Amino acid sequence: MFCGNFDFFNPLSWHGFLTVVVSSIENIVKLQRVEMNNIYRVVWNASHQAWVAVSELAKGHGKSKSSVSQSALMGARGIGALLIFSSLGLTTLPAMAANINWNTAGTGEWSNTGNWTGGVLPTTGDVAFIGLGGGAEVTAGSTTGASGMTTFLGFFSGVGSQGFLTVTGTGSTLITGNLTVGGAGIGTLSIQSAGVVNSDSASLGSNSSSSGSATVTGSGSQWNITNGLNVGQDGIATLSISDGGAVSSATGAIGVQANANSNVVIGGTGSTWTIGGGTGTLNLGGVGVGRLEIGAAQGSTPVAPGTLNAAEVSFGSNGSLSFKHNSDNYAFAPNITNSGIINLLSGVTRFTNNLTTAGNSFSTSGGSLQVHSGNTSSGTLELAAGTTLYAPSYIQHATNGFNVLPGTLQVNVNNDTTYGKLAVTGQASLPSNAKIDVNVANTNFAFTATSLADVISAGNLVSDGTFSVTDNSVLFNFTAVKDGNTVDLNLTAAGGGGGGGSSGLVEQIIVAQGNTPAIGAARALDTIKASDPTGPVSSLFVPLTTNEQVNAAVSQTLPLLTGGATLAMGNAMHGLNRIIQARQQGAHGRSSGDEFYGDSHMWLKPFGSWANQDDRKGVSGFDADTYGLVFGADAAVAEVNRLGFALSYARSDVDSNSNIAPNSADVDTYQAVIYGSRSLSGATEINFQSDVGYHKTDGKRSVNLLLPGQKAKGDYDSWSFHIGAGLAHTLSLSDKTTITPSVRADYARIDSDSYTEKGAGALNLKVDDTTVEELILSVDAKLAHKLTERATLTANMGVGYDAINESASITSAFAGAPGTAFTTRGLNPDAWSYRGGLGVVGNVSETLEVTARYDFELKEDFDNQTASVKVRWAF
């Protein structure tokens, strides 16, 4: 039973389902095709281990119906055939008379009948299948095959189908009708040493599951195709014509259909592909990908160019034409139409006919192009940086130009010595307002000169000296100047340089992007580019092509962490202050059970804190992870006085939140502390603390947008001073619970030395010394509750206000422009802070106490969490 649609003219078309009943006696099944009322029979193909539906009129080359192991694969003349695999897969065979299979796993002579099923050589009207891993050879001057015979190399899919055919040696000839290399499997054709293949038509990689490869190499080797050659009909295909090999066809196509991915290389002296006797058209690319390479394939060493004898190359949407050869005067004759890509990779290529195209992209990355007089093109001629295009003549005109819509010369620029050039040995004619487009979008751009000399040069330059120059640089413009028979490009700064109450272009962009911290740097850059547009700093900004790039690049010039490293130092100091304050309260006996101890104690406290500063008012925030250790000792020096001393070390790893301007710093902090208290009564005390600190900062900031792969590195020293005093009074809520309210004032100051960065050339910053101060007034309350005689639970809450609350103000200048300083305002934290904590104190013995604590500090857009363990013992 057959249901659905089957296209007998498409050997891979099947829709619906088919039910086949097999006679166990004769292995013959009769199929009724309802639509056409035609009768078929099914025979067993031993080579493919498959049932095949064929016409009852098909010849069997003398084989018995009942001889299953001997039955040949039969095809129905003129109507097509069905192949049913034992795995229930279904594939069709083309409409042919008889199907003859290559039954040798290895390589053998085509003319040996023992290599074919049934011992019969395929002839006119037959289909020759080479597709089960074996390969046929035509050698020793023999001629075999027949016109009207169809040959498949690698036809079947899903069964490891691979077929090989080699035709080699003078006088060795294969004659066939249609030749398919890679039908649904993998096919390989090799024509060498003056071997010849004559076929009616040919295709390589005929469907999406196939791969076809053909090589025609050596003088006298030929592949003569009466009709069309389709390279990559719907699959993967390669054709190599080398060392004098020749291919001829009536028509030619490379990678035209949807799934095609195809490549043709014509290289070596005397190698040719002739289409339509030299008057035909090569269709290059389309829905699929098609590539034609003259000389060597991309990635290979250049060789002598081959020849495409055709009247026209018609580009499809995915077509490309590449030249990689070693000739200094290669002529490419076909007209080129439609849109495609032309790559000039090596050698000198001269187009001797028209390039009538409305969108070609020319790339001269390593090769040179000679333009034939009279060329008409409205496509794009791209001169890669460092290459020169040589032309005997050049005409740029709105209706008869050679370049961009309609007639523009595009010049790629790497630096002031590496840029594209057009050299015309004869006459170059330019219209009024001749169009030149400059592309500076190169991440390695470096520019130090005021002009690009001889972008166009000619034996005789006809021009009125007017130009229309465009470029993709946001901050700079190029202008063209006629200098005799040459044209130079000059560089000028775009926009104003600021000053006089007006904003420069960089500042305007930064303000529009809302990047407030970078305004100072933007003003400095406006001044620098106006006064020294080709200086070491300005030149780095030439290749920026969008406002977003300008904004990001200016952000990368700001000082390390925009002052965030100083805030990280302050956070580390705050952590130490809270540790000392907690120790002073414990020493007064309000939470730790000091009444069991003597008057002298030593203590050790490791801690870790994790701070997160969100972006604030346009300034990028940071994350800081701090780990440290504090060691101290204190003792009673009088009945109401205690005095102590502590040393601390902390390491802070600080990373900015910015993705466009990544910064990081490592800060090592060393502090020495003197602290003490005086009891005013049994429940009231006054305490004080004074400390000095040394801070070592090693920082890195990325400048990759302007200097790819480079970082500015700076290290500097800072000194800190802190003094604070507090008043606390303890109230007893019960025999187990106390509460201690307190007030406190703390003043701190951090002085950072000046420093000069390294590693970023002109963008290294010379940073002046800075000073940051704070005065925090705070109110706190601490609750202590005895859980047992040996365990106490503590909790505290507090609020503080910074009466100074100033942000870091950093003055710096670029090493490449030290005379223009700018100021960067850092993060301005909220004046109010809120803190709290929870702890458990355990008396391990009469002389040993262990405390575990969790503390936090909160501000608007900021949080810091600290975990610590303190061990204290009496002595």
Q: What is the pLDDT of residue 354?
A: 61
pLDDT > 90: percent of the chain: 56
Cα–Cα distances (Å) from 612 to 660, 663, 855, 861, in that order, read: 19, 15, 14, 8
Q: Which of 809 and 47 is assigned the larger pLDDT? A: 809
pLDDT tens for residues 785-809? 999 999 999 999 999 999 999 888 9
Element (H, E) at 320: strand 319-324
Q: What is the pLDDT of residue 39?
A: 34
Sign for the CA dihedral angle at 291, 296, 297, 299 comes to negative
Q: How far apart are CA 541 and CA 446, in angstroms?
A: 9
Largest interatomic CA distance in the chain: 127
Q: How far apart are CA 703 and CA 761, in angstroms?
A: 10
Q: Are 452 and 440 in contact (CB under 8 A)?
A: no
Looking only at the bridges linking them, the beta strands covering 737-752 and 731-732 are antiparallel
Looking only at the bridges linking them, the beta strands covering 486-493 and 38-45 are unpaired
Q: How far apart are CA 354 and CA 39, in angstroms?
A: 57
Where does the pLDDT of residue 413 fall: very low under 50, low under 70, confident under 90, or very high at 90 and above? confident
CA angle 266, 271, 272 (to 5 degrees): 80
Could you write out the three-class secondary structure of 240-268?
Answer: EEECCCEEEECEEEECCCCCCEEEEEEEC
CA angle 661, 666, 669 (to 5 degrees): 140
Q: How far apart are CA 288 and CA 234, in angstroms?
A: 8
Cα–Cα distances (Å) from 853 to 575, 577, 609, 834, 839, in that order, read: 12, 15, 12, 17, 4
Where does the pLDDT of residue 582 fall: very low under 50, low under 70, confident under 90, or very high at 90 and above? confident
The closest alpha carbon to 778, from 691, 859, 708, 875, belongs to 859
Q: What is the pLDDT of residue 40?
A: 36
Instruction: Give the other-Cβ count within 10 Å of 448's Cβ.
Output: 12
Phi-psi region of 625 (alpha: psi -120 to 50; beta: other; left: phi over 0): beta
Q: How far apart are CA 100 and CA 23, in angstroms?
A: 24
pLDDT tens for residues 635-672? 999 889 999 999 999 999 999 999 999 999 999 999 99
| Strand positions, DSSP E, 359-407 | 361-363, 368-371, 380-383, 388-391, 394-395
Q: Which residues pair with 54 in a beta bridge?
A: 41
Three-state DSSP state, 519: helix
Q: What is the pLDDT of residue 390?
A: 61
Q: How far apart are CA 132 and CA 143, in angstroms?
A: 24
pLDDT > 70: percent of the chain: 79
Q: How far apart are CA 649 and CA 644, in angstroms?
A: 17
pTM of the model: 0.64
Q: Which of 160 and 30 is assigned the larger pLDDT? A: 160
Q: Which residues pair with 634 in a beta bridge?
A: 601, 644
Q: How far apart are CA 644 and CA 577, in angstroms?
A: 14
Q: What is the pLDDT of residue 81?
A: 30
Where does the pLDDT of residue 384 fall: very low under 50, low under 70, confident under 90, or very high at 90 and above? low
Rounded mean pLDDT, 400-416: 61
Rounded mean pLDDT, 836-864: 95
What single-letter amino acid sits at 617? K
Structure tokens at 307: 């020849």
Instruction: Give the other-Cβ count within 10 Å of 150's Cβ.
Output: 25
Give 260: exposed, middle or buried? Use CB within 10 Å, 0-12, 13-18, 19+. Answer: buried
Three-state DSSP state, 340: coil
- Cα-to-chain-centroid distance, residue 427: 43
Peptide bond into 302 cis (omega under 30): no
Q: Which residues pair with 411 in a beta bridge?
A: 383, 438
The closest alpha carbon to 409, from 377, 386, 441, 442, belongs to 377
DSSP secondary structure string, 289-305? Answer: EEEEEEES-TTS--B-B
- Cα-to-chain-centroid distance, residue 454: 35
Q: Which of 130 and 30 is assigned the larger pLDDT? A: 130
Structure tokens at 410: 């595009």
Rounded mean pLDDT, 500-515: 88
Q: How far apart are CA 53 and CA 83, in angstroms?
A: 6
Q: Which of 52-61, 472-481, 758-767 has the lowest mean pLDDT?
A: 52-61
Cβ neighbours for 649, distance < 8 A, ≥ 6 positions apart: 628, 629, 668, 669, 670
Where does the pLDDT of residue 503 fall: very low under 50, low under 70, confident under 90, or very high at 90 and above? confident
Could you write out the three-class secondary structure of 593-658?
Answer: CHHHCCCEEEEEEEEEEEEEECCECCECCEEEEEEEEEEEEEEECCCCEEEEEEEEEEEEEEEECC
pLDDT tens for residues 583-620? 776 554 433 333 333 479 999 999 999 999 999 988 99
Q: What is the pLDDT of residue 393?
A: 56
Residue 375 has pLDDT above 60, yes or no: no
Q: Of the ranges 109-113, 152-156, 583-587, which is most confident?
A: 109-113
Three-state DSSP state, 108: strand
Q: What is the pLDDT of residue 501?
A: 58
Q: Of the ranges 146-155, 567-576, 626-635, which is most confident?
A: 626-635
Q: Are 678 and 702 in contact (CB under 8 A)?
A: no
Residue 835 has pLDDT above 90, yes or no: yes
Average model confidence (pLDDT) for the chain?
82
Residue 576 has pLDDT above 90, yes or no: no
Q: How far apart are CA 510 and CA 533, in angstroms?
A: 19
Q: What is the pLDDT of residue 429?
A: 78
Q: How far apart are CA 40 and CA 531, in angstroms?
A: 90
Domains belonging to the chain, first-starting first, are: 2-92 (no CATH), 102-226 (no CATH), 505-555 (no CATH), 563-874 (2.40.128.130)
Q: What is the pLDDT of residue 284?
A: 94
Give 317: exposed, middle or buried? Use CB within 10 Å, 0-12, 13-18, 19+. Answer: middle
Q: How far apart are CA 279 and CA 502, in angstroms?
A: 66
pLDDT tens for residues 175-185? 999 999 988 88
> For residue 308, which phi and psi values (nearest 5 degrees)?
-100, 110
Q: How far apart are CA 279 and CA 260, in angstroms?
A: 25
Q: What is the pLDDT of residue 793?
A: 97
Q: Which of 153-162, 290-299, 635-644 has the lowest mean pLDDT?
A: 153-162
Give 684: exposed, middle or buried? Use CB within 10 Å, 0-12, 13-18, 19+. Answer: middle
Q: What is the pLDDT of residue 348?
A: 79
Q: What is the pLDDT of residue 502?
A: 66
Q: What is the pLDDT of residue 577?
A: 85
Q: Are 833 and 857 in contact (CB under 8 A)?
A: yes
Q: Which of 102 and 353 is assigned the larger pLDDT? A: 102
Residue 827 has pLDDT above 50, yes or no: yes
Residue 37 has pLDDT above 60, yes or no: no
Q: What is the pLDDT of residue 22?
A: 35
